[in-house]
Structure 1
Amino acid sequence: MTKKKNEVWEWLKALIIAVLLAAVIRYFLLAPIVVDGQSMMPTLHNQDRMIVNKIGYTIGEPERFDIIVFHAPEKKDYIKRVIGLPGDRIEYKDDTLYVNGKAYEEPYLDEYKKQRDEEIDGPLTESFTLSELPWGEETVPEGHLFVMGDNRRYSKDSRQIGFVSLDDVIGKTSMVYWPIKDIRIVK
């Protein structure tokens, strides 16, 4: 009887340790997230499932063009691309991104730009400067980011919700793990 009791206790301990490890990983290191909507098309698709690296920004800072997950004002988590870092001047002119006066290529938009050339009138990204947005800032404030979705015409992003506080950033995401046929690293 004692041998059976010890075996049950050992299994119970193993189960408790597994649950605790899973909780630590889930809440402090990595977390799953589901893409909800079309705002990151063509890079991410509605219902793609991704892994969020929560620990990466505790030891480093977001970089331009990272895909991040953050708490949005609507009590919802958003997935967007970092366009502007603290202190940056952001401008879009003739569908080209300018950061601090320097033009940047955005290869993740090439597919949509090609479609636009073939079938859609007008630019993918309407021209604007930060100071023209409702917030009236000349540069991205310290401790904040300027983010945009890749599907520029249909994205609710910093142009509408304002700058994202670094405190609201959950982490970086770059791996789609579901559906299986679409497993990939995104950039």
Structure 2
Amino acid sequence: MTENVHELKLDKKQTNDNMKEKSGWVSWLFFIISIAAVFFIFRFVIGITIINGDSMSPTISDGDVFLTSDMFYTPERNDIVIFRDEDGYDVIKRIIGLPNETIAIQNGVVFVDGEPIKSEFTTGIPNDMPERTVDSGSYFLIGDNRTPGESLDSRNSDIGSISKEKIKGQAILSLLPFGLMTIIPK
């Protein structure tokens, strides 16, 4: 009888040891999957961008911090987007022209396919620009600070239209300044 009790205690101890070992492996597996999920989310789904410069003033200021999204994003007019320039820097601008549309600036007014667009979120008066057609699969991006020399954007012939592949994602939420915490206006 004492042998059976002793065997029962040994079996119980082995069972507890096996459960602890399995629990340890499950915890490590959960940890690794969690780290991979966080990496995936911040690499492919959302990002944090710190603004450098005043090309998007008055909408966005130098030093503002934004949450961006690049998963399942389809660019639309007036979206504020982040794109990668030729030097590898992230740049933030507003989409004004869609593929195959014509853009012109006359007397400080931006025209898309001959129609003036609303500009309540802008500052400054841009220089005139002759009519241009946006390349297929590309977008015409311009800063909200339209004062000549304040925004290096699609108005510059060296930059021109920005292909969809260069657009990293859309700015969706202001994180700093804290009081702002609003969705980006369109």
Give the TM interval when normalised to the shorter protein.
0.7 to 0.9
- More helix per residue: 1 or 2? 1
Q: With CA pairs under 8 Å and 6+ residues apart, which has the higher RCO, 1 or 2?
A: 1
| 8 Å CA contact 2:129, 2:155 repeated in 1 | no
Q: How many residues align?
A: 165
Which residue in 1 is equivalent to 2:170? 172
Match of 1:41 among 57, 62, 70: 57
CA offsets per residue over residues 112-155 of structure 1, 9 Å max, x none?
A: 35xxxxxxxxxx2111124xxxxxxx311101111011112211
SS of the counterpart of 1:157? coil
- The TM-score, its normalising length taken from structure 1, stands at 0.80
Q: C-alpha separation between the residues in 1 aligned to 2:130 and 2:27? A: 61
| 8 Å CA contact 1:140, 1:163 repeated in 2 | yes
- The TM-score, its normalising length taken from structure 2, stands at 0.81
- Cα deviation for residue 6 of structure 1 reads 4.5
- Cα deviation for residue 9 of structure 1 reads 3.3
For 1:158, the aligned partner's letter is: S
What's the RMSD between the two structures over aligned residues? 1.8
Which residue in 2 is equivalent to 1:149? 143
- Cα deviation for residue 39 of structure 1 reads 0.8
User: Are 1:80 and 2:80 an aligned pair?
Assistant: no
For 2:67, the aligned partner's letter is: I
For 1:181, the aligned partner's letter is: G
Determine what percentage of the aligned residue pairs are the same residue. Answer: 29
| 8 Å CA contact 1:56, 1:172 repeated in 2 | no
Q: C-alpha separation between the residues in 2 aligned to 1:157 and 1:52? A: 20
Match of 1:105 among 118, 140, 148: 118
For 1:36, the aligned partner's letter is: N
Long gaps (5+) in structure 1: 114-123, 131-137
- Cα deviation for residue 10 of structure 1 reads 3.7
- Cα deviation for residue 165 of structure 1 reads 0.8
Match of 2:160 among 145, 162, 166: 162
Larger radius of gyration: 2
- Cα deviation for residue 11 of structure 1 reads 3.3
CA offsets per residue over residues 1-55 of structure 1, 9 Å max, x none?
A: 8365445434322321221111111122111111111111111111211111111
Q: How does 1:1-187 map to 2 (within 5 A)?
A: 2=17, 5-57=21-73, 61-109=74-122, 112=123, 124-130=125-131, 138-153=132-147, 154-160=150-156, 161-187=159-185
Long gaps (5+) in structure 2: 1-15
Residue range with higher mean Cα deviation, 27-36 or 81-90: 27-36
